[in-house]
Structure 1
Amino acid sequence: MYFQIRGIVLWPRNGDFQPRTLKFELGKVNVISGASRTGKSAVIPIIDYCLGSSTCSIPVNTIRKYCEWFGIVIATAQGEKLLARKEPGAQRSTDEMFLLEADNISKIPSRLTKNTNATAVKRLLDDLANLSNLDFSGGEEGSGFDGRPAFRDLAAFTFQPQNVVANPDVLFFKTNTYEHREKLRKIFPYVLGAITPALMAKQFELNRTRQLLRRKERELKDAQEVSARWLADLRSKFSEAQELGLIPKLEEEVSRDQMIELLDEVITRTDLTLAVSTTTISDALRELSSLESEEREVSRELTTLRHRLEEMNRMRVGVQQYEAALSVQRGRLQLSSWLMSHASDDSDCPMCGSNTDSAKRKLQVLSQRLEEVETAAGADKNKEVPAAFDRELQRVTTDVENSTERLRAVQIRKRALTGRSKEAREQQFSAKRTERFIGNLESSLDLHRKLGSDSELVEEVRTLKEAALALEGELREQDVEARKRRALRTINANAGKLLPHLDIENPNDPISLETNDLTIKVLGSERDDYLSEIGSGSNWLSYHLAVLLSLHQFYLTQKHSPVPAFLVLDQPSQVYFPKHVTSRDVEVEDDPKIRDEDVDAVRKAFEVMGNVVQGEKGKLQLIVLDHASSEVWGGIDGVVGLPEWRDGTKLVPMEWLSEA
């Protein structure tokens, strides 16, 4: 990803001073050289803090005491952006941030006020890196370190602070803590291109499909466990329907599907009369059947008459309410007639005697409305409710009473008949039983359909299995582990090409970047050794430098790598000059030959960095913070230096410290 540091900006607490800006060249090795305690080691924490770090690691006392805001200007494919974050004071960090975006930021604001927060900036950085919104767990709950990749996770590849750059036990930034180590292990296949956003989407879909498949399979298993029971129940219901005369007796054996089909017909049938043979029909049963038919007919007539009676009563009530409303309006508007009678031409207002047109107009409007109401009332008064309405109302009321009496009489005769005839009682019980059977049959058939071999549930399980197999096949074709091994072979080969140009004991021994252990393994002729098992600070520095540079070379070959194209190294020469500022014309040791060898070793490291940066043609930026002066690294192609921080020149200008 094209993402480089254009500059670092510090804003003083004292408003009399202007911000301090450190400008870097893009696509170069930028060296800040200086003496101890000048603020070099604060550069990495400042950049990290402005990129959304959860804690502020910027050194306290001078830097945080005299600076109110810290900022960086970054160059991206979408233009330049100024990211500034307020000094947190007594807190571990602050959420207050300032964001400025432009094609080219030519002027730095002299004072800042919050216009965004750290969460929004981290979302912006995630979008710039085009990171997937899916997590590594495939959507399963409680993912932990399997959470989605974030821009903050990529800091491991962009910073080599003083305690890491030549550390035999720690290869990447912040991986000395368990949390960062586990997250880096998880995202390594992603940044190597072995896992792509498309593959993560497929894995997410596969896990979702598997979860749904497991649930459907459980449902189907639960249903099939009662297969014997539900089949017996189906046969029982079929036999019961035959006993009730709802289904004819069949000579041949019927299948499960045929039973369901015949029972379906029972549900859809509207004439649920019992198919009783003629030999069993007695006079009592004939009479009972006749009474039940009459009861149904009278019930339908009574329902129709009651509905008509309710409508007619509502009509009568509506007429009465309308007349009452007109009466209220007339009573309220009668006052206008009295007021008009007391109004004269000289004093129109009958209340105060004033001469005004508005009062007269309003009275006229009220009088006109009264006339309209009177007219409506008069018209309605002349319209009488037709006599036919009252006659019809009386007829319907009488019919309701008669039908109610007929229904009551039928029911009395039925009760008397069933009381006299045992056969009639049994017939009535059978009818009630049939009604209950029909009521329960429909819901029962739904269950039987779901449990069939061609049911919807079985079809869902089959479809989900096919989908899961297809996704598994697609993921196998991609072969994440094979893609990861190919990427690591390329990185190891690139590092192997750099090692012979560095100060290392066995430059020709192949190395292997171990992403699970987050370290380097040196493959010797007799044995393989991890970085922590190899001695000498020069070896540790060389392996760190070769692997980090080869990683960035690999990232730049990827079409959509999310890793920012910059690397900041703090004190890479410390293994050679742990305490002294180095210059070819300064005598710092008794044996100048040893010192010359150390200077040459440091120069080799800068030459390798310069060659790598030049080979990437401006797409990679390095920032090196070191004691070594320009006499050590000067004149190397691709390497540029900022004014050295010596003789009072520091990160924080000395005049800022003069304030009270």
Structure 2
Amino acid sequence: MKIKSIHVYSNDGRRRDVTFHDGLNVITGRSSTGKSALSDIIEYCMGRSTFNVPEGVIRDRVVWFAVIYCFDGEEVLVAKPAPAPGALSLNMAMVRRGAKVEAPDFSELAVNDSDDGVVALLTHLLGIPENTTDVPIESSRASFDANVKHAFYYLFQKQGIVTNKDQLFYRQNEPQQPQAIKDTLPILLGVSGKDKFTLESQLRYAQRELRLNAKLLQQAREGIDNSEERAIGLLSEARAVEIPLGDSDVPPTALLGRALDWKPTSVPEDDGARVSGIENELLDLRERRREVQRRIDGAQQFAKRAEGFQSEVSEQRERLSSIKALPVDKATGEWQWPFAQANIGMDGPIAKALLGELETLDAELTAVAGERPALVAYLTDQQKALADIGDQIRGKEVELSSAIATSEMATQLANRNNAASRVVGRISLFLENLVPNTELLRLQAEERRLKARVADLEERLGADDSDTRLASTLSNIALHMSGYIRDLGGEFGEYPAHLDLHHLTVVIDRPGRPIYMNRTGGGENHLAYHLAALLALHRFAATYDHPIPRFMLIDQPTQVYFPSETSYAAAGGSIEQTESQKDADLEAVRRLFETLQRFTTQDAPGFQLIVTEHANLREDWFQAALVEDPWTKPPALVPDNWPDVPLF
């Protein structure tokens, strides 16, 4: 996988093309011309959604980015629109495939895929085998599939990394990325391939089946060991809730089987409404009884008052009846007032008043005597009514007691049925889970089979010498590292060096005490160690055809050979300006590019190195490596006359 070309599109449909070739590609020029953004554009068009192109002219004027990748016999165009203003990422893409693909016109650009599709396609075409990272079971991180994005670590040596003593690979300083490098590099180097992935998947499946079978077998054994005791306990519960079981000489499990035939007892309808109705009728009868009693009490009070009145009237009449002792006028036969003059009779006012009072008392006595029979009859009727109501109340109370008893009986029967139902349910569950001897034998045989399967897979995986092969691979990579360090003028080049995958750094194997890259000084040394490790890694991958892209971008590597960033920037892509920097180590610059040139022609023929620079050398081979004339007028990647993208 190599880069054929990079394309950017303006808002008005214009296109800018940058075309590359095999071998060494150099883009040199002044600062702020867009050179360093090339790696961000390539990464963006390899399926990374995050948009890392720096703010400035490129973001302001470019609306689409495209890269054409070359594979054996096929080319793939991946184009992506720029994210909307303010957005930090975009997951949409356009993909076009063919034996030969050209950059489309602006009118042809249209989204037809996503970053996931781009990653899957490039992973497949690159030849990364089906895989999953080898993560220990006790680890908190999850396994994942290695894909083309895990090759990014070895493709981009950006300006801030290429001379960093603490960071060897791209994105190594980001969370989780160091472990991802350690997990995926063995896969990309062919140490952990599809066969191991298949065996590991089969082993995980077999181990899971073995654990499940072991659980079932344990349950079966525990069930058999405890079945007799549990059966006796369930029989006791069944008898407690009056489930008929029959002959007790039958084995417990057979008796329990009979319990499954139990049917609930018919429960009388709980007539709560009838109880309420009777209670309401009793309330009415008791109220009627109280009303009749009040009438009887009133009549009796009336009778008592009448008797007292009659007694008083009689007593008064007796006193007045003494008037009968008055003398009688013999001539007229009438009573006469004894104090009156002779023969005046009863014509006097006092006599008349007394006689009138006596007549009134006689009348009242007569009335009272006349009403007594009616009062006696009334009291008799009311007392009879009171007795009838009392009989009705007693009958209703008996009826209520019967209704309550019936309701309680229904409740008891329902409770008994519920209790019996629960026991029957437990018996049913027990009998269902009761493992017969044949099932136990089957589970034991399955356990033996699965153990044999797991042992076989573990043996086959144990025979896989991944660790030994990884050590051998790293030794082969280390074989060339010392030579590159010497070619690049790095310190300690006389000693062997190797790539430490555990610490992700370069180690110089000096006798007595190894030297780690972060304990060395000088940017020239750090550059030498970086390039030595990556060139050796790519040389091994290219030689043995491992699925790592055959290109690498190096951003401004020769800056370490200039006395300052100002003097380095002053070179500006001009041969004359480069040579005018008297304090610069131009011999080291030349040595660096000679090493890179030799790598692409001899060590890994056809490998594509893309170097962005400020320096420019006079040598013909260097000039032949220039992709374009030096980018001397910013911005060179994006023309000055392109319009700005509307913000809204």
Alignment check: 8 A CA contact 1:521 1:528 kept: yes
Q: For the residues of structure 2 that align with 1:129 and 1:611, how far apart are their CA atoms?
A: 25
Q: In structure 2, how many angstroms separate the alpha carbons of the residues matched to 1:175 and 1:136?
A: 18
Q: Give the partner amino acid of 2:547.
A: P
Q: How does 1:195-274 map to 2 (within 5 A)?
A: 195-230=192-227
Report the CA distance shift for 1:225/1:568 in structure 2 as closer, same or farther (over 3 A).
same
Native 8 Å contact 2:223 2:434 kept in 1: no
Match of 2:265 in 1: none
How far does residue 165 in structure 1 lie from its aligned partner after superposition? 1.1
Task: Call closer, same or farther: CA 1:637–1:235 in 2, change over 3 Å.
Answer: farther
Unaligned 5+ runs, structure 2: 234-246, 258-426
Report 1:104-143 matches (<5 A).
104-106=100-102, 108-111=104-107, 112-136=109-133
Asked if the contact 1:164/1:170 (under 8 Å) is kept, the reply is: yes
TM-score, normalisation: structure 1:
0.63
Amino acid at match of 1:35: R
The residue that corresponds to 2:392 in the other structure is none
Within-5 A mapping of 1:558-597: 558-559=544-545, 561-577=546-562, 578=565, 579=568, 580-581=570-571, 585-586=576-577, 592=582, 594-595=583-584
What SS does the corresponding residue of 1:71 show, helix, strand or coil?
Answer: strand
Cα gap change, 1:46/1:570 in structure 2, threshold over 3 Å: closer, same or farther?
A: same
512-521 or 640-649: bigger deviation: 640-649
Question: What's the counterpart of residue 607 of structure 1?
Answer: 594
Q: For residue 199 of structure 1, report the CA deviation from its aligned partner.
A: 0.4
Say if 1:134 and 1:148, in contact at 8 Å, map to a contact too. Answer: yes
Deviation at 1:630, TM superposition (A): 3.3
Q: Indicate if the aligned counterparts of 2:128 and 2:547 stay in contact, CA closer than 8 A.
A: yes
1:77 equivalent among 53, 72, 80? 72
- The alpha-carbon deviation at position 488 of structure 1 amounts to 0.4
Partner of 1:316: none
Counterpart in 1 of 2:16? 20
1:94 to 90, 93, 110: 90
In 1, the alpha carbon distance for the partners of 2:102 and 2:118 equals: 21
Contact residue 537 and residue 575 of structure 1 kept, 8 A:
yes
Residue 99 of structure 2 is matched in structure 1 by 103
Residue in 1 that maps onto 2:416: none
Amino acid at match of 1:466: A
Please state how far the C-alpha of 1:572 moved relative to its aligned partner: 0.7
Q: Does 1:40 align with 2:27?
A: no
Distance 1:587 1:219, change over 3 A: closer
Distance 1:138 1:499 in 2: 34
After TM superposition, list the pairs within 5 Å mapping 1:406-417 onto structure 2.
Answer: none
Matched, 1:621 2:619: no
Give, in whole Å, the separation in 2 of the partners of 1:445 and 1:146: 40
Cα shift at 1:58: 0.7
Is it true that 1:653 corresponds to 2:648 in the alignment? no
What residue in structure 1 maps to residue 161 of structure 2?
Answer: 164
Inter-partner Cα distance in structure 1 for 2:204 and 2:188: 22
Measure, in 1, the Cα distance between the counterparts of 2:644 and 2:197: 56
The answer on 1:148 being equivalent to 2:134 is no
Q: What residue in structure 2 maps to residue 466 of structure 1?
A: 452
Amino acid at match of 2:41: I
Paired residue type of 1:609: L
What is the CA-CA distance between 1:505 and the residue it aligns to? 1.5
CA RMSD in angstroms, aligned pairs only: 3.6
Q: Distance in 2 between matches of 1:73 and 1:185?
A: 30
- Within-5 A mapping of 1:535-574: 535-559=521-545, 561-574=546-559
Deviation at 1:109, TM superposition (A): 1.8
C-alpha offsets along residues 369-410 of structure 1, whole Å, 9 cap, x if unaligned?
Answer: xxxxxxxxxxxxxxxxxxxxxxxxxxxxxxxxxxxxxxxxxx
Deviation of 1:482 after TM superposition, in Å, equals 0.8
How many angstroms does 1:615 deviate by?
A: 2.3
Q: d(CA) in 2 for partners of 1:224 and 1:638?
A: 81
* Residues 1:148 and 1:587: Cα distance change in structure 2 (over 3 Å): closer
Match of 2:217, SS state, is: helix
Contact 1:29/1:622, CA 8 A, preserved across alignment: yes
Q: The residue matched to 2:76 in structure 1 has which SS? A: strand
- Which runs of 5 or more structure 1 residues have no equivalent in the other structure? 237-242, 248-259, 268-439
3-state SS in 1 of match to 2:226: helix
Normalising by structure 2, report the TM-score. Answer: 0.64
The 1-side partners of 2:501 and 2:206 are apart by: 30
Residue correspondences, number: 460
TM-superposed CA distance for 1:474, in Å, is 0.8
Match of 2:50 in 1: 55
Q: Distance in 1 between matches of 2:497 and 2:218?
A: 53
**What's the CA shift for 1:150?**
2.1
Residues 177 and 462 from structure 1, CA distance in 2 versus in 1: closer, same or farther, beyond 3 angstroms?
Answer: same
Task: Return the alpha-carbon distance in structure 2 between the equivalents of residues 511 and 139 of structure 1.
Answer: 30
Change beyond 3 A, Cα 1:466–1:587 = closer
Tell me how far 1:613 sits from its aligned partner. Answer: 1.1
Q: For structure 1, which segment, 123-132 or 168-177, has the greater mean C-alpha deviation from structure 2 after superposition? A: 123-132
Give the counterpart of 1:5 among 3, 6, 9.
Answer: 3
CA contact (8 A) 2:76 2:96 kept: yes
What is the alpha-carbon distance in structure 2 between the residues aligned to residue 102 and residue 442 of structure 1?
65
Report the alpha carbon displacement of residue 490 of structure 1 after superposing the two structures with TM. Answer: 0.4
Structure 1 segment 301-340 matched on structure 2, within 5 A: none
Among candidates 605, 621, 625, match of residue 635 of structure 1: 621
Q: What displacement does 1:604 show?
A: 1.4
Please report how far the alpha carbon of residue 204 of structure 1 lies from its aligned counterpart in structure 2 after TM superposition: 1.5
Judged with a 3 Å threshold, the aligned counterparts in structure 2 of structure 1 residues 649 and 54 are, in CA distance, closer, same or farther, namely closer
**Is contact 1:611-1:638 (8 Å) kept?**
no
Q: Which amino acid aligns with 1:228?
A: D
Q: Does 1:194 align with 2:191?
A: yes
Which secondary structure state, in structure 2, belongs to the residue aligned with residue 488 of structure 1? helix
Within 2, Cα distance between the matches of 1:186 and 1:107?
A: 36
* Cα distance in structure 1, aligned partners of 2:428 and 2:635: 94
Q: What is the CA distance between 1:157 and its match in structure 2?
A: 1.0
Identity, % of aligned pairs?
27
